[in-house]
A and B are shown apart, each in its own frame.
Chain A
Amino acid sequence: MRKIAIIGIGQTKVHEHWNLSIRELAGKAIFAAQKDAGRKNFDALFVGNMLSGLIDQQNNLGAVIADWVGFKGEAVKIETACSSGASAFRAGMMAVASGEIDSAMVVGVEKMTDAAPNDITSALATAADSDWELEQGVSFVGLNALIMRRYMHEYGWQHEDFAPFSLNSHANAAHNPHARLPFAISEKQYKNSAMIAAPINLMDASPTGDGAASALIVPLESVHNNKRAVEIVGSGAATDTLSVHSRKMPLFLQAAYLSAKYAYAQAGNAPEDIDFFELHDAFSIMAALSLEACGFAEKGQGPRLGLSGAIKLKHGGIPICTRGGLKARGHPVGATGMYQIIESVQQLRGECGEAQVQGAKIGMAQNIGGSGASIITHILKIS
C-alpha cells in the first residue's frame, strides 16, 4: 500500500438550503475542492449519503452527482447510516492507496429539509434495527436516551455534567462560517432547554440540515512539495451489533474501540499523540462514550474531560469538535463524516483563526453510524 494525502477540500454551509437540490449541494463542495486543489481531474467519485433513497426519491446517487459535475468515470454511493461520509472516504482512500486508481474525489452529501419532521425521524431510525427496535416505536433519539439514562444510573452522573460537551461545540462553532448554529450557549440555556426524550434535551442533540463536504485524495509521492498536503496516516473501521439490546456492554462503543485501535496501529500513534479529536457528538452521551472507547478516559469517566475543561481549544488537553462538532456545525447525516475530515485538514493547515489548535500536527476524526453499529476512525497528519 502506498502513502496517500488530501490535496483539496470543499464544503457548503450546513443550513436549510431551500433553493438547492442534493446534486447542487454535492456539486458546490466538489467544485470547491477542485479549486482548492488547483486541479480538476480525478479517476473515481465516491459519494457518502444515507437518505437519498428515502427522502429525495433518488438512488443511483453516484451517477447522479457524476452527471452533474461532468464526470464520466466510475462513481458509487456508499451507505453506512450516519457514518456514510467516513465510509466513502475510507473506500476512496483504499482505492488510491492500493494503486488501483491515482486520484479519488470523495463527497459526503445530505439533503434533509425537503421532508417533514416525522418522516425524517422515521428515515433516521432506519439506522437501527427495523424488526426489533423500530417496530416498538423507538426513535433514534430514544435509543440514545436509553443509553444515557443507564449510563447516568451506573456511573452516578447528573444531566448537567454533560453540559460542557454542548457548550464547547457551540463556542467553537461561533468561529466557523459553515456551521449550522454558529453561536455560543450558556449553561442556563443548556439546563432549561426542552426535553425531547428524557434525559436527552434539545441541547444534547445535534441539529439536522442540508450540506455537502468533499476532499480529493492522491498519492503522497505525487505532492511531496505541496506544504498544504495532509497525509492520511491511519484508518480503521469496525462494526458492532445493530441493536443496542444485543450488546454485552451497551454502555461501551466496542466498534469505536476497535476502529481506533486499528487506526492508532497503522499510524504508529497513541491517544497522547493526538492534538485534536473531531468526534461524533450526535448526542452528548456519544461524546463521552467516544472519548472512553478511544483511550482518552476510563469507562464511565468521559464527562470528567468536559468538567475539567480538557476538551476546550486552549487547555492543553484533548480539544474536541473544534469547528462545532455535530451539535453546532450540524449533522447532515451522510455528509457528517466528510465535514469531520475537512475540518481536520483545516486545523492541520492552520486555517481556523480563533478556533485554531496551536501547532496541531496530528488530528483524529471518528464517525458513528447507527447507535454504535458502524464506526470509522481516521488519523491525519501534516509534516
Chain B
Amino acid sequence: MEIPRHWRLKKQRYGLIGEVCPHCDSKIFPPRDICPDCGKEAKDEFAFSGAGEVYSYTTIYNAPSGFEHTIPYTVALVQLEEGPLITAQLTDVDEEHVSIGMPVEMVTRKLREDGDERGMLVYGYKFRPKLVVAA
C-alpha cells in the first residue's frame, strides 16, 4: 500500500500534466526541477495534448509482481507531439497491429491493483490507436 505515492502523482497520471521551461520553452514530462535542455529551473505546469506516435514497443509475458493478471500486455515508448518520450502501456490493440510510427492518443485506464482485493486501484495513462472521427 503506497497511497500517498500514488496520490501525489495524480495530476501527471490522470491529466498528463508536465512542465514547460520558462527559459527555453522546452516541454518536459515527467516533471523535474531542472530543465534537461538548458539546465535552469523549470516549474511551470504544462498540459500535454495526449497525442503522439509509437517510437518503440514490446509485449510483456513475464510480468513484475502486481501485473501477472494482465499478461500479455504491450508496452511502448510513445513520442508525444510536443516532444518528450513517455513509457506507457498500449490498450485497445493487439501487438500484431502495432507498428513504429503509429498515431496514438492518451486514455485513462486501470494500471493495476495494489495488493489484494481490498487494495486500491491504481489508475493512470495508457495510449490507444488514435480514433478517426467521421466527418
**Chain A interface residues (CB < 8 Å from chain B):** 117-119, 121-122, 125, 131-139, 141-142, 145-147, 149-150, 153, 195-200, 241, 243-248, 250
Give which listed residue, A119, A122, A142, A241, contacts B75 with CB less than 8 A: A142
Q: Which residues of A contact B58 (CB under 8 A)?
A: 142, 145-146, 149, 197-200
Q: Which residues of A contact B64 (CB under 8 A)?
A: 118, 121-122, 125, 134, 137, 139
Give which listed residue, A131, A142, A246, contacts B36 with CB less than 8 A: A246
How far, in whole Å, are A135 and B30 apart by their CA atoms in the complex?
13
Q: A117-B62, A122-B65 are in contact. List 13 more A-B contacts (CB 8 A).
A: A121-B65, A136-B89, A139-B62, A139-B64, A142-B58, A146-B87, A149-B100, A150-B55, A197-B60, A198-B95, A241-B36, A244-B77, A250-B85
Does chain A have a CB within 8 A of B70?
Answer: yes
Q: Which residues of B contact A146 (CB under 8 A)?
A: 56-58, 75-77, 87
* Contact present for A131 and B30 (CB under 8 Å): yes
Closest to A128 in B: B87
Interface residues on B, range: 35 or more
Closest to B56 in A: A150
Give which listed residue, A132, A150, A196, contacts B87 with CB less than 8 A: A132
How far, in whole Å, are A260 and B30 apart by their CA atoms in the complex?
29
How far, in whole Å, are A267 and B59 apart by their CA atoms in the complex?
43
How far, in whole Å, are A328 and B124 apart by their CA atoms in the complex?
39
Q: Which residues of B contact A138 (CB under 8 A)?
A: 60, 75, 87
Does chain A have a CB within 8 A of B50?
Answer: no
Closest to B126 in A: A136
Shortest CB distance A141–B (Å): 7
* Contact present for B57 and A149 (CB under 8 Å): yes
How far, in whole Å, are A195 and B124 apart by their CA atoms in the complex?
28
Shortest CB distance B81–A (Å): 15
How far, in whole Å, are A165 and B53 apart by their CA atoms in the complex?
32
Give which listed residue, B55, B62, B66, B122, contacts A141 with CB less than 8 A: B62
* Contact present for B65 and A137 (CB under 8 Å): no
